[in-house]
Amino acid sequence: MSPMEYRRFGTLDFACSALGFGAMRLPLHGAAPDDIDREEARRMLRRAVDLGVNYVDTAYNYHGGASEEWLGWALADDYRERVKVATKLPAWKVERRDDFDRFLGEQLERLGCAIDFYLLHSLDADTWRDNVLAHDVLGAAEAALSDGRIAHFGFSFHDTYDAFVEILEGSDLWEFCQIQYNYMDEEYQAGTRGLSAAAERGLGVVVMEPLRGGQLARPTPQVAALWDAAQRDLESCVPAAVCPPESPVEWALRWVWEHPEVSLLLSGMSTMEQVEQNIRYAGRSTVPVGAAEHAAIARVRDAYRDAIPIPCTSCKYCLPCPNKVAIPDILELYNEAVAYADLDGARRRYTWIDEGSGADACTQCGTCEERCPQHIAIAAWLEKAQTFLTVVED
């Protein structure tokens, strides 16, 4: 196995492993998210650390609140000294300034150790304005930095590029950020522009969802055929390609690692096999992505996009909906379920839509269709989405 490779973390004096260990999808004993298979998860984490991983990421709410306590237990002995621990404050739950200290205190107790990297979790424009700014969370964070409860401060993000810039420019405390980024999401959320903007300000950039929640690791038959053809072409070319990717996972990870602005990428690994595989790929993270590989990725990207049934661009001209239907989010879930053959995942995420904002709240008033620049039959698609995305109880 190739040795771990390390990268710059913004302007901080920290050489981070190309791969970080995400404690979000740990192995379970059963169906309950907090029923972590503690021994196996610890074995996986320690194997990753032994092979060079030095950044572990968790959050207050991961595994129903059980992830942080598990991590503190799993890093006992000398393993804590070998890694940087990152965790996140549930910013959307902050209703007063004291909530920052309350959550942080609980997290410090769960982890049983100091926090190296502390993030405001899943920021969007509303949470930034209504929770962070309204309750002086930044002032509370500055105090925590001063007294040593946290060493470095940043944020994770899910919203538009404009919202990302607003947050990025909204504080001088930021030392790093965490964004969703993969070869399908170059222009989604923060995207490539956000990656560049953060790097220009000297921030370390942690990439989450490099496999789009696992979707890119489970290619459809059409996409799998494209990968297989690309693999054969690279293996047979003269001169031989330099270490061609061995799986769709490595294709996706290598695409992210090629961006020098990326400090590290996180993988939420659920099995020891995934740990071994991803660390093997991380040992090749500096292998250049050549023209042939980029062409193959472009073909795969086009295949996924061609499979998308609804031509929604998430421009949000359809909003606000008079009935509060989350139109772009629902259409996106439908598209993802079809394009990535991920119905179970889409149905799970559909349950996260705010109550009263589901497709069943549509009255077919036609307001959204009058505004839609793509002339989408939105009401008809919402009706299909409601049937498609709703789990029917036996």
Mean pLDDT confidence for 310-330: 88
Let me know if 8 is exposed, middle or buried by CB neighbors in 10 A (0-12, 13-18, 19+).
middle
In Å, the largest CA–CA distance within the chain is 64
Token pair in block for residue 317:
């001209």
Question: What are phi and psi for residue 21, nearest 5 degrees?
Answer: -95, 115
Q: Looking at residue 282, what is its pLDDT?
A: 96
Site of tokens 């470095």 = 152
Q: Looking at residue 209, what is its pLDDT?
A: 92
Summarised one tens digit per residue, pLDDT across range 36-60 is: 999 999 999 999 999 999 999 999 9
Summarised one tens digit per residue, pLDDT across range 217-269 is: 888 889 999 999 998 888 887 555 567 888 999 999 999 999 999 999 999 99
Summarised one tens digit per residue, pLDDT across range 112-163 is: 988 999 999 999 999 999 999 999 999 999 999 999 999 999 999 998 999 9
6-297, which class in CATH? alpha beta
Inter-axis angle of helices 221-236 and 248-257, nearest 10: 70
Quote the mean pLDDT of the chain.
93
The domain limits of the chain are 6-297, 327-389
* CB contact set of 285 (below 8 Å; sequence gap of 6+): 5, 7, 18, 19, 253, 254, 257
Q: Looking at residue 394, what is its pLDDT?
A: 52
The fraction of the chain above a pLDDT of 90, given in percent, is 76
Summarised one tens digit per residue, pLDDT across range 183-218 is: 999 998 999 999 999 999 999 999 999 998 888 888
The Cα–Cα gap between 349 and 385 comes to 13
Greatest mean pLDDT range, 9-18, 242-251, 364-373: 9-18
The Cα–Cα gap between 352 and 347 comes to 9
Summarised one tens digit per residue, pLDDT across range 378-392 is: 999 999 999 999 976
Q: Are 335 and 381 in contact (CB under 8 A)?
A: no
Among left, alpha and beta (phi > 0; psi -120 to 50; other), residue 52 is: left
Q: Looking at residue 261, what is its pLDDT?
A: 98
Nearest alpha-carbon partner for 103 in 116, 90, 84: 90
Under the banding of pLDDT at 50, 70 and 90, the label for residue 2 is low
Under the banding of pLDDT at 50, 70 and 90, the label for residue 339 is confident
Q: Looking at residue 286, what is its pLDDT?
A: 92
Q: Looking at residue 218, what is its pLDDT?
A: 87
